[in-house]
């Protein structure tokens, strides 16, 4: 992931909560046994043979859908599983991992989910039972990550359209938050043909409107980070991607750029896209970015010496910033970093890397 980081106004009624949880990129957390669609709040998957039609423009929604939200901690995250495994054997190590495991974080969705409808519906129902709200990162667009360490994604336009409709079907009208496609706008000029660029914008526009059909789904289009593209250029990409119908945009997903720098960048973009709100990933930017790396890859691929950042909160002190969130899960690798020095090289993207986790959380 080379980018790569009432009073709840989502119509929650008695639910005053916002969840950030479930499995990371490589963790398959369907975990739903033999449940049927009816057991997922009466939801059903998008039929394999159904026609793909243009979704209507979404209804008006709150300016800040995360106001006073409570955040959900995933009891099945890789960090939590590791904490449970070492808690009785190594109290000192467990205390450090605790700083990651018991913090709200997002669930990444991609081709590793064998059944995306069931995976999403399962998390939504689990969060509801907890009195919380599910949160997701959609990371499955064709030509994802320009084929780098998190390369992959759906194989065609239609397969992605069906996939995103199953994400929405799993959410239904329950509360949820979706961060839409990290890297997709950041890498926009780096590896796509003109035809692929148009397809990507079409898919993002469609995805925003599909997800917004959920009456309580908050949608943020990912916009890279403050050091990737000039604000004016990113604003134009966001407009082409359908920011008009999203609640806002996300910044710093899976990256290390400081919160203050991203805040100023976000406010500048906001002024160019109709004062849309934004969220910032603070999961790993506690020490800021690695300055003067040996090469560009080392700035984002497992840089050593980084630290966890500000804990997730929806009280940011900035009216345009809806939340500081942990979108990337600390302790999970950015990739193997084969083009970097040995200090950066780790396991495949999304795999738990305990040495780095302990370094970040100490």
Q: Is 334 a catalytic residue?
A: yes
Whose CA is closest to 305, among 279, 284, 325? 284
Return the biggest CA–CA distance within the chain: 56
Q: Considering 74, 174, 183, 222, which one is annotated as catalytic?
A: 183
CB 238, CB 185: distance < 8 Å: yes
Whose CA is closest to 86, among 76, 96, 77? 96
Q: Considering 74, 145, 222, 322, which one is annotated as catalytic?
A: 145
Whose CA is closest to 113, among 39, 58, 45? 45
Structure tokens at 226: 């403050």
Residue 245 CA to residue 55 CA, distance in Å, equals: 12
Q: Considering 74, 222, 322, 334, which one is annotated as catalytic?
A: 334
Q: Is 54 a catalytic residue?
A: no
Beta bridge partners of 108: 137
Structure tokens at 22: 């479930």
Q: CA 49, 167, 350, 248: dihedral to nearest 10 degrees?
A: 130
CB 153, CB 141: distance < 8 Å: yes
Q: Is 183 a catalytic residue?
A: yes
CB 252, CB 223: distance < 8 Å: no
By annotation, the residues acting in catalysis are 145, 183, 334
């Amino acid at each position: 992931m080379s980018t790569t980081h009432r009073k709840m106004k989502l119509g929650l009624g008695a639910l005053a909560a916002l969840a950030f949880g479930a499995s990371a990129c490589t963790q398959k957390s369907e975990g739903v046994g033999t449940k049927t669609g009816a057991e997922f709040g009466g939801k059903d998957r998008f039929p394999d043979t159904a026609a793909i039609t243009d979704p209507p423009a979404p209804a008006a929604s709150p300016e800040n859908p995360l106001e006073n939200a409570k955040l959900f901690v995933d009891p099945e995250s890789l960090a939590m599983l590791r904490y449970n495994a070492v808690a009785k054997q190594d109290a000192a190590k467990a205390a450090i991992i605790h700083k990651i495991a018991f913090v709200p974080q997002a669930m990444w969705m991609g081709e590793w989910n064998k059944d995306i409808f069931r995976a999403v519906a399962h998390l939504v129902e689990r969060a509801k039972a907890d009195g919380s709200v599910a949160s997701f990162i959609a990371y499955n667009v064709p030509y994802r990550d320009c084929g780098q360490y998190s390369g992959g994604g759906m194989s065609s336009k239609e397969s992605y359209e069906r996939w995103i409709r199953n994400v929405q079907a799993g959410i239904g009208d329950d509360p949820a938050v979706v961060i839409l496609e990290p890297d997709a706008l950041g890498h926009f000029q780096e590896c796509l043909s003109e035809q692929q660029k148009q397809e990507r914008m079409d898919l993002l526009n469609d995805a925003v409107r599909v997800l917004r059909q959920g009456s309580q789904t908050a949608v943020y289009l990912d916009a890279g980070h403050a050091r990737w593209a000039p604000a004016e250029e990113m604003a134009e990409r966001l407009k082409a991607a359908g920011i008009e119908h999203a609640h806002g945009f996300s910044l710093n997903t899976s990256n290390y750029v400081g919160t203050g720098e991203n805040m100023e960048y976000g406010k500048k973009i906001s002024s160019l896209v109709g004062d849309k709100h934004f969220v910032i990933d603070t999961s790993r930017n506690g020490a800021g970015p690695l300055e003067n790396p040996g090469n560009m890859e080392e700035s984002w691929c497992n840089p050593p010496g980084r630290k966890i950042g500000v804990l997730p909160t929806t009280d940011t002190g900035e009216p345009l910033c809806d939340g500081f969130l942990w979108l990337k899960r600390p302790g999970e690798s950015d990739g193997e970093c084969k083009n970097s020095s040995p200090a950066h090289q780790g396991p495949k993207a999304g795999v738990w890397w305990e040495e780095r986790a302990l370094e970040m959380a100490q």
